[in-house]
């Protein structure tokens, strides 16, 4: 069983920045693909970004050039640096861990990001 703890959400003005963190209890963290998802009120949960064990990255078109996902395997932590934030980025952001071999999947509780003037 893997537990995930998100932090770093909050209220920010348009054009501002936030950095989200997700700490994991995974015994072999380096074997997981780590991802960030978000869900806005009344909308489906969507993939924002993921990073594989080989540090291959992928981003949703809506955040390309503004968000950066990274990982620190020594700290069992994945990050999401969010720059040039827009009101449309407002959502609950969830951390996800996917074991690349057995495909077991885990979710954090989420952290609220609100972009507003």
Please report how many Cα atoms fall inside a 13 Å half-sphere around the Cα of residue 91, on the Cβ side: 21
Degrees, nearest 5: CA angle 3-45-105: 30
pLDDT in tens, 104-116: 999 999 999 999 9
Cβ distance 100 to 32 under 8 Å?
Answer: yes
Q: List the beta strands (DSSP E) in 60-110.
A: 67-72, 77-82, 91-99, 105-107
pLDDT over 90 percentage in the chain: 99
Q: Are strands 18-24 and 57-59 parallel, antiparallel or unpaired?
A: unpaired
pLDDT in tens, 31-46: 999 999 999 999 999 9
Query: For every one of its 117 residues, what pLDDT tens digit does the chain have, with 9 covering 90 and above?
Result: 899 999 999 999 999 999 999 999 999 999 999 999 999 999 999 999 999 999 999 999 999 999 999 999 999 999 999 999 999 999 999 999 999 999 999 999 999 999 999
pLDDT over 70 percentage in the chain: 100
**pLDDT at site 92:** 98
Joined tokens for residue 72: 């620190």
């Amino acid at each position: 069983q893997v537990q995930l703890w998100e932090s770093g959400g909050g209220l920010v003005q348009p054009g501002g920045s936030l950095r989200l963190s997700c700490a994991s209890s995974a015994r072999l963290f380096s074997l997981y693909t780590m991802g960030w998802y978000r869900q806005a009120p009344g909308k489906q949960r969507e993939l924002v970004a993921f990073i594989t064990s080989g540090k291959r990255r992928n981003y949703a078109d809506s955040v390309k050039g503004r968000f950066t996902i990274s990982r620190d395997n020594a700290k069992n932590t994945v990050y999401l640096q969010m720059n040039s934030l827009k009101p449309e980025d407002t959502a609950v952001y969830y951390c996800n861990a996917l074991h690349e071999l057995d495909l077991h999947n885990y979710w954090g509780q989420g952290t609220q990001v609100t972009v507003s003037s």
